[in-house]
Amino acid sequence: MSRPRFPGQAVLVTGASRGIGAAVALAFAREGARVALQYAHDGAAARQVHGALPGGGHLTIRADLGRREEATGLVEKARLALGGLNILINNAGIYRTRRFEAYDPLSWRQDWDDLLMVNLTAPAELAFHAASAMIRAGHGGKIINISSRGAFRGEPESPAYGAAKAGLNSLTGSLAVALAPYRISVCALAPGWVETDMAQPYLSGKPGRQRLADVPLGRAARTEEIAAAVLFLASEEAAYASGTILDMNGASYLRT
């Protein structure tokens, strides 16, 4: 049996009650890490994921990342419970779609307030507090932000989401440079369609088949594929990849 890649390391995964976050938490636990699973609302689902994790020392933490004060306190809760923090995975996100003609001034402003808070401001808060803790501890660390193909190709029915993910990419690069002297690596992963509960309404029926027809591989990514890429970016083998934004979209959008 091969040695675990992250023995005893402390990992905080946001949005870990389902989808990509749950798969990432499971992948880290299988590699020997102790995992703090953040969830916002579905405690039963988070506890189910927690119960499926191999090894010990894992925990769940409720925090609504739509509320700045809860996002700010999350890292310290995880750090104290885990006895430190080596890796932060900023995965939690929300997505809403609406045709431009259906917006009014109030719904337009509400989408920008909500989506930027959860998809950009909260990850920035978590990254700041995680990096600060890593610097105090003096052991370096990893921060990985889950971005989106939409940051590059645009999101005409969810412009706030696309803008937030583009901002997250910029934040990734900025922090990669700023934190390099402290041996803290910062990367991002930009998936296209992934088989998750959040994506399921958009991938079902005829509209879903049309969306997947635009993917040369002809399918959405599996959450396990995304998790494997996250583990690579978090590994020592990828230490020199700091600042990288890794595309995983089945060749549905190509950056040159």
The b/e string for 158-176 (b: 16+ C-beta within 10 A; e otherwise) is bbbbbbbbbbbbebbbebb
Active-site residue set: 161
With contact defined as beta carbons under 8 Å apart, do 42 and 17 qualify?
Answer: yes
The structure tokens listed for 62 are: 């409720």
The CA-CA-CA angle for residues 110, 115, 58, to 5°, reads 135
Residue reference for tokens 């925990």: 59
**From residue 114, how far is each of 44, 59, 64, 213 by CA, in Å?**
24, 27, 12, 31
Q: Which residues contact 210 (CB under 8 A, 6 or more apart)?
A: none
